[in-house]
Chain A
Amino acid sequence: MQQKAEFEQRVQKALNNPQLRRNFRVAMDGLMEKRSNAFPDKEALEALRITGANIRANALVKQPELLEQLEANCTRNGIQVHWAETIEQANRIVLEIMERHQATGMIKGKSMVSEEMELNHFLEAQGNSCIESDLGEYIIQLDHETPSHIIAPAIHKSKQEIAQLFQEKHPDIPYSEDIETMTRSARKILRGKFFEADVGLSGVNFAVAETGTLCLVENEGNGRMCTTVPPVHIAVTGIEKVVEKLADVPPLLKLLTRSASGQHISTYFNMISSPRKPGERDGPTEVHLVLLDNQRSRIYADEELFDSLRCIRCGACMNHCPVYTRIGGHAYGSLIPGPIGSVIEPQKFGLENFGVLPTASTLCGACGEVCPVKIPLPKLLHRLRYEQVRNDHTGATIGQGSQRSTREALIWKLWSWAHANPAVYRGGTRLAGLLRGVVPNKIGPWTRVRTAPKIAPKSLHQLAREEGFENE
């Protein structure tokens, strides 16, 4: 139960930080409004979501074949493909590529998979430098933090906090709270880093099997820098990111940018199909693609949980989540926060470590309602609640049954018995009615912010009888 206590501590810390609460509320309100404006026609949106869900479901069903096709086409195009079962293997692959080029400096575009690999730690421990170039990622790297949101990593910080951080880390730059000025400062600092870097690293939004093409969505241009300027480009991706055809890309792109930030299209959509060809005057001379499994194939085995792999990482589920809005991304303690994080992270890193996350939801359904690829998020959260207390040892999820406590199990057994036996139940409600006068006014944490509910003198069962409503 340690994970629960730690989770509660982080939640407390977040809830008691008014600045943080304000930052998230304002940001989430803005993101929800932008998304809503980007989809003015609700019927068209629904049709597009169905298309997106089908494209992703199709790609998953055919995943092994598509991965082979992707590998064949990338290889033919000159992209070197590597497979990693674990994050250790993936890190090792990246390191070996760097070593082969005697490279020590990496510039990184935004990649959640590289966060999953904890690549920065790994490479830095080997004496390499790893610089994040996405503005949000750069800010949190300066402050030694992890992302609090998958598309807006520094969303938990206010501009004043960022201005102070810049001043502390770059005292030579004049202090400014002006967002454009701070952005330009980052541009200036990072320009030199792009220029020097030996290796550029990026994630992948969609990997197209049909043509062997890696697609990247971005606004800042840092993704293009990382994949164009250094002599070596390494792309890391989860195996689930493969899609079948190039024609599958436009609908997914439309769903992704509109769901994420309400943009009709991102500033850049960067499609890479090969390293620099003879005669071409720029671009990396080597392009590597690292395909990471890390439990994805285990998730893949379950017919229901399988749907979690459809995710295109837009972040809409967290933007619309009332729990995420209150506690922010760091409270989750997982790499990916919010509803999709509460579904994926326990499956990747075990219910014994992240089992508390699926319970931290009211199952209000806001996430499922906005998911661009119709992942049934509430259903999956619910399924994981079952996985963590089931005791039949037949499921495949890591840490299955780990959250089952004898006490809680007994309570539900008794509860079940009482509600499966009408006579017991009626006896219970009658007794409650009689004892209503002595029910305490304080009942656990409920009454910290609420009055205790009042038991009625007569139950509906009783009233229905008295009013002559028939029993059958």
Chain B
Amino acid sequence: MSLAKHYPDRPDKVYFFGTCLIDLLYPEAGLAGMQLIKREGVQVIFPQDQTCCGQPAWNSGYRDETRAVVLNQIRTFPQDYPIVVPSGSCAGMLRHHYPEVFKGRPEAGLVEDFSQRVFELTEFLVHVLKIELRDLGEPTKVALHTACSARREMGVADEHEALLRQLGNVQLVEQARKAECCGFGGTFAVKHPDISAAMVTDKAKAITDTGADQLVSGDCGCLMNITGHMQHQGIGPKGQHIASFLWERTHAAES
């Protein structure tokens, strides 16, 4: 938990940055995140012009190409509302790397203002909305994989756990070497597939060994990697984004 970080008071409105991976592959996770915030009485705005945070190009060394994409996001979130992101990785890009992308450039000030407004979903739920969850689900055993960017860049590993611990029927189990990377690393998985495969194999085994009924992660990149491997091998529990998991377990179906 990063104590140094300053959290705002509960706002009336927030922006939601859904991330391109969620947009394309896990939209239900994005929707769940928005619903969790909305249920707390905060209006959620989803600007339709948002695309990708720009991280793939940035991490590949293509800086000009990144800047064009970043400027689109900055234009798309013009008001002074907090920007909530259901991913430690993309939130880290928006919050910590955007200022680097524009370091020493005329847009630096504008970008800095934008970055200061960025929060990862779980930290926003815990520290800004001070959410209280009531578990409506059946007893279950859950393993949590916290993305490296969520843990080390955004410093929100404790917030992920804190939310899951609010759920009375959820037993959190811990896998061996839980802080170790799953081997996704964006373009790393494509550029170095064999190393990535070795890493995800170990990670999937550690998670399977816990006997968890379910894997939860705050980042869809890791989820896609780990569950993709587990499905391929026919092992392990099913995986879900933490937002979907929290929403499903606390949301009373309207009859």
Q: Do chains A and B touch in the complex (CB under 8 A)?
A: yes
What are the residues of chain B within 8 A of A369 when measuring CB–CB? 152
What are the residues of chain A within 8 A of B191 when measuring CB–CB? 359-360
Knowing A386-B63, A412-B62, A432-B24, say if A326 contacts B200 (CB, 8 Å).
Answer: no
Contact with B along A438-457 (1 / 0, CB 8 A): 00000011111111111110
A165 within 8 A of B: no
Complex: A388 Cα to B60 Cα, angstroms: 10
Interface-facing stretch out of A113-121, A252-260, A421-429: A421-429
**Chain B residues numbered 39-66 whose CB sits less than 8 Å from any CB in chain A:** 43-52, 54, 56-66
* Interface pair B201/A409, CB less than 8 Å apart: no
A406 within 8 A of B: no
Complex: A96 Cα to B200 Cα, angstroms: 53
Select from chain B the residue with minimum beta-carbon distance to A421.
B72
* Interface pair B201/A449, CB less than 8 Å apart: yes
Number of A-B contacts defined by CB within 8 Å: 204
Interface-facing stretch out of A71-79, A136-144, A263-271, A461-469: A461-469
Complex: A415 Cα to B71 Cα, angstroms: 14
**Chain B residues numbered 13-39 whose CB sits less than 8 Å from any CB in chain A:** 16, 18, 20, 22-28, 30-31, 34
Complex: A454 Cα to B60 Cα, angstroms: 24
* Interface pair A429/B61, CB less than 8 Å apart: no
* Interface pair A386/B65, CB less than 8 Å apart: no
Contact with B along A11-41 (1 / 0, CB 8 A): 1100100000000000000000000000000
Contact with A along B216-253 (1 / 0, CB 8 A): 00000000110011011100000000000000000000
* Interface pair B232/A449, CB less than 8 Å apart: yes
Min C-beta distance of A23 to chain B, whole Å? 15
Complex: A206 Cα to B58 Cα, angstroms: 37
Min C-beta distance of A409 to chain B, whole Å? 7
Find A420's partner among B68, B79, B228 (CB 8 Å cutoff). Answer: B68
Complex: A12 Cα to B195 Cα, angstroms: 9
Complex: A327 Cα to B197 Cα, angstroms: 12
**Which residues of A does B touch, CB under 8 Å?**
8, 11-12, 15, 322-323, 326-327, 359-366, 368-369, 379, 382, 385-390, 408-409, 412-413, 415-422, 425-426, 429, 432, 444-456, 458-465, 467, 469-472
What are the residues of chain B within 8 A of A15 when measuring CB–CB? 194-195, 198
Besides A425-B52, A455-B25, 6 other A-B contacts (C-beta < 8 A): A361-B185, A362-B188, A382-B58, A416-B66, A429-B23, A459-B24
* Interface pair B198/A416, CB less than 8 Å apart: no
Select from chain A the residue with minimum beta-carbon distance to B103.
A304
B interface, over-half SS: helix
* Interface pair A415/B228, CB less than 8 Å apart: no
* Interface pair B71/A365, CB less than 8 Å apart: no
B85 within 8 A of A: no
* Interface pair B59/A385, CB less than 8 Å apart: yes
B148 within 8 A of A: yes
* Interface pair A362/B48, CB less than 8 Å apart: no
Complex: A469 Cα to B50 Cα, angstroms: 14
* Interface pair A419/B51, CB less than 8 Å apart: yes
* Interface pair A464/B46, CB less than 8 Å apart: yes
What are the residues of chain A within 8 A of B56 when measuring CB–CB? 415
Min C-beta distance of A433 to chain B, whole Å? 8
What are the residues of chain A within 8 A of B66 when measuring CB–CB? 416
7 A-B pairs closest in CB distance? A362-B185, A450-B228, A445-B193, A416-B65, A364-B181, A364-B148, A385-B61
